[in-house]
Amino acid sequence: MRKETVRMMKWMKMTWCEKKTAAAAGIALLAASLLLGGCQTRHKRIEIETTSAGAAGSAARGDALSAGGSPVAGSPQQGTIDIDTVYPQGKEDPAGTEGESTWVPEETTAPQEESTAGGDPSLVFENRDETVYVTASVLNVRASYSTSSQVVGTLNRGDSVRRVAYGAEWSRIVYGDGEYYAATEYLSAEQPETQSSPAVSDETETANQPAAADESTAADQPAAGASSGTISLDPDWEYADFSKVHSGSATLYRSEAAERKGITVCVNAGHGTKGGSSEQTLSHPDGSPKVTGGTNAAGAVYSSAISTGMTFSDGTPEAEVTLALALKLKAKLLAAGYDVLMVRESSDVQLDNIARTVIANQNADCHIALHWDSSTRDKGAFYMTSPDAGGYRDMEPVKSHWQQHHALGESLIAGLKNAGVKIFSNGTMDMDLTQTSYSTIPSVDIELGDKVSDHSDSALDTLAAGLLDGINAFFGQ
């Protein structure tokens, strides 16, 4: 019998402890083969998933209604282990090729599940192909099976998704154009009853506390609000007929804080509309050309319905970061007593700039669009002002509202400055934007930095706190 070999081929760097665990598994197989005698071997590759430290699965509970979650030990990693499987002489491999046989030798057990090197049962995934439903009011969808991983979007109660792998703590689901993870506890084969204003249960609130509760921020706590339903673009609303992409919807959340303010803030996570950049809309409702450059050049009568956004220097799409900040700001606003109109809570919403603006006009008291600039100077935060050029401020609805836009922008910049955020120049930049060209409420495109700016979780917490401070000042709260 030839000498058995075990070799680890990693997709990501593993810790020394993980190497020892994988090696131990190989030694066990080698010992079994030596006892059998007169055996042949068949090559087999097993996929494994590991954690760098701790049990990442234990943090899955409570991912519903979390705006981002606190980092926990155990960021997931993946890899493969190649082994030579032993089977008795005289038993042929039915497939006739290495690694593809369905025959299972009596002396060994074929793996039926994806498992981790550490053997944590909470991180074992069983392949599935089934439809499940969300039972939480709002459920985070994450890049991997840990509350420290990136939130790529959210699902609402009653939403159906395809589950492709089941685990005790986490499930792998099809979301958008990829596969991601959601907490198993909040997925059910039975469709839940719909609720017009679902309340946050005590059990859910407890489950959503981060592991280190004394170190958590307001954004880590469950949002103190309930969904009042989705809002689509009404074709009868003013300027609605200028929109080209409007099959999606926004969601209105009503604060359940003890001192509800009766003020609705529209939080618009910039970008995140697949295919939107291929559509064109009028730059101005009166058909006049743009007076400044931007995504489109000065003089353009038509502009992109919505752009895809830039990419940070570390490869992160701007749309992911604007969404992460929007979720944090939503949580802080609800906890402070504001109602919140969320334009986007997933990687894609089919609403262009005009649709987003018109929905905000009709359902909110102010409109804040979150963006990062495409420069590479780490120049700081600023808001887009309505340019005093080419008659732009004489055009309706800009004429009646540009001063309100500027007042909101000044308040936001002051709040960010108080929070220690770097501010660019005097905090303003003239820009002819579709958003402000169609806004009939105080409306601001605020740029929170640029391609090289810090967009870590802690940096986003600081930005959300500064924005809340600015909103309080604007509304005299």
DSSP string, 310-371: -B-TTS-BHHHHHHHHHHHHHHHHHHHT-EEEES--SS-----HHHHHHHHHHH-SEEEEEE
Q: Is the pTM of this model over 0.85?
A: no
Number of C-alpha atoms within 13 angstroms, CB side, residue 302?
Answer: 10
DSSP 8-state code for residue 444: E
Which residues, including other chains, have CB under 8 Å from residue 30's CB and lie 6 or more apart?
Answer: 4, 6
- Which tokens is 176 given? 């958008």
How many Å apart are CA 444 and CA 268, to the nearest integer?
10
How many Å apart are CA 4 and CA 33, to the nearest integer?
8
Of 373, 375, 374, 394, which Cα lies nearest the Cα of 384?
A: 373
Longest dimension (CA), the chain: 92
3-state secondary structure of 382: strand
Mind listing the pLDDT tens digit of every residue in the chain (477 residues)?
443 433 444 444 444 445 555 555 555 544 544 454 544 545 444 444 444 434 444 445 456 653 333 333 344 444 444 444 444 444 444 444 333 333 333 333 344 455 444 556 667 889 999 999 998 878 888 888 888 777 888 888 888 899 999 999 999 999 877 899 999 999 999 888 754 433 333 333 333 333 322 223 333 334 456 667 899 999 999 999 999 999 999 999 999 999 999 999 999 999 999 999 999 999 999 999 999 987 778 999 999 999 999 999 999 999 999 999 999 999 999 999 999 999 999 999 999 999 999 999 999 999 999 999 999 999 999 999 999 999 999 999 999 999 999 999 999 999 999 999 999 999 999 999 999 999 999 999 999 999 999 999 999 999 999 999 999 999 998
C-alpha torsion angle, residues 455, 457, 461, 462 (rounded to 10): -50
- Which stretch of DSSP H or E encloses residue 58? none
User: Which residue is associated with the tokens 């606190």?
Assistant: 70
Indicate the fold that domain 218-474 takes in CATH: Aminopeptidase (3.40.630)
Per-residue pLDDT tens over the stretch 425-459: 999 999 999 999 999 999 999 999 999 999 999 99
Report whether CATH 3.40.50.1220 matches the domain 122-188: no
* Residue ranges per structural domain of the chain: 6-121, 122-188, 218-474
Q: Are 435 and 477 in contact (CB under 8 A)?
A: no
Q: Are 68 and 458 in contact (CB under 8 A)?
A: no
Q: List phi, psi (to 5°) of 267.
A: -105, 115
